[in-house]
Amino acid sequence: MISGADSNRILNAIEASSNWGSELRAEAMSLISKLPGYSWSGIYRLEGATLELDEFVGERTDHTHIPVGRGVCGAAVAENANQVVNDVRELDNYLSCSIKTKSEIVVLVKNEEGSILGQIDIDGHEVGAFDRSDEHFLESVGEFLAIRW
Ligand code: SME
């Protein structure tokens, strides 16, 4: 759950930024990572049939290359659908980055033609940390990032 004030503040900052590409993505992850409940904030770029870890803020992860279809991240691409997982312990197809993670949201980043450029992946330490407000916010972040990908 993100407040309207936090959402507006961060979206305004990203829109007003003069950065492009990986610098803009790093700036966005830095801003997002300070939100309450956002314990790991990262971006994966889709390169062919593999998701490649891009800019992130949080613990280092072993999952730097994720094939499409694997884990929550790979499922988002395979299904062409955002993923909001209330409790990752209930999933079979889950790639654990931290034993502290209880919930996760993955929102696809697409270009104007609808092709998937990558995704924003957020982990939370609480069960049910993310809802439709976070999905909507991250979709908006993704739209700004896609323009200057
Ligand atoms: N949990 C993800 C892998 C990425 S880490 O959360 C950073 C997944 O199941 O795809």
- Ligand 1: centre distance to CA 113 (Å): 26
Q: Which residue has the tokens 């654990």?
A: 96
Instruction: Provide the mean pLDDT of the chain.
Output: 97
Ligand 1 atom at minimum distance from 91 CA: 9
Rounded to two decimals, the pTM is 0.97
Q: For residues 33 and 26, give the distance between their C-alpha atoms in angstroms, rounded to a whole number.
A: 10
For residue 126, what pLDDT is reported?
97
Pocket test for ligand 1, best of 52, 97, 99, 100 (most atoms within 8 A of CB): 97
Structure confidence at residue 77 as a pLDDT band (50, 70, 90): very high
Q: Mean pLDDT over residues 57-70, rounded?
A: 97
Q: For residues 92 and 9, give the distance between their C-alpha atoms in angstroms, rounded to a whole number.
A: 37
Structure confidence at residue 3 as a pLDDT band (50, 70, 90): very high
Q: For residues 17 and 148, give the distance between their C-alpha atoms in angstroms, rounded to a whole number.
A: 11
- Ligand 1: centre distance to CA 4 (Å): 27
For residues 116 and 46, the answer to whether their CB atoms sit within 8 Å is yes
- Ligand 1: centre distance to CA 114 (Å): 23
SS3 percent helix, strand, coil of the chain, rounded to 5, is: 35, 25, 40
Give the single-character DSSP code of 1: -
